[in-house]
Amino acid sequence: MSLLAIAPVIPVVVIDDLETAVPLARALVAGGLPVIEVTLRTAHALKAIQRIAAEVPEAVIGAGTVRVQADVLASVKAGAKFLVSPGSTPALLDAMEASGVPFLPGVATASEVMTLAERGLTEMKFFPAEAAGGLPYLKSLGGPLPDIRFCPTGGIRLATAPDYLALPNVGCVGGTWLTPADALAAGDYARIEKLAAEAAALR
């Protein structure tokens, strides 16, 4: 199944405290969002992916902020079921294609989209969504590139997500609003589950 078709929102998660990884994943899954992107921005990211993969089997856990081949190899070894990159280079694309797991390469321009399409790729991450042109830009891409579908990420909120999801070339959106830092710090996983449920209801 396409990564873009599993749930309307992919939570983009930064793990600062390793002990929050499993309960956080369980809360998101319970709320109806099984696809979870853990960004490789902290020292705990790979261990968090490993723990979630082992202890929350119903989650489809992936690695985000994948930038180089070493990130690809380490993420897959840790148990990542998919990969997400902020942008795309030939070397990174080669590594992700060779990984054997699905991936969403990052794009921000029509030329980048067309370059990836030449490789046969049709599903991409549009990043940073709001800063790169947001809804009007994605609508414009839909005309000349109707076969490409996106997961826009970056600056999207619960209030704006439905507008993105209404576009025919958007399969899902990525968002950080589902895991507020204060909720994580307080261990308020009920709040995170509630936020996930609100997001899951968008489609």
As to burial, measured by CB atoms within 10 angstroms (0-12 exposed, 13-18 middle, 19+ buried), residue 91 is exposed
The one catalytic residue among 81, 123, 125, 193: 125
How many residues would you count in the chain? 203
As to burial, measured by CB atoms within 10 angstroms (0-12 exposed, 13-18 middle, 19+ buried), residue 154 is buried
Our CA angle for 80, 84, 89, nearest 5°, is 125
Q: Is the dihedral of CA 191, 197, 200, 202 positive or negative?
A: negative
Residue 188 near residue 20 (C-beta atoms within 8 A)? no
Q: Which amino acid is at 117?
A: A
* Residue partners of 181: CB distance under 8 A and separation at least 6: none
81 is catalytic: no
* DSSP classification of residue 196: H
The one catalytic residue among 19, 37, 47, 58: 37
Cα→Cα distances 148→52, 133, 156, 189, 190, Å: 31, 17, 20, 35, 36
| Residues classed as catalytic | 37, 125
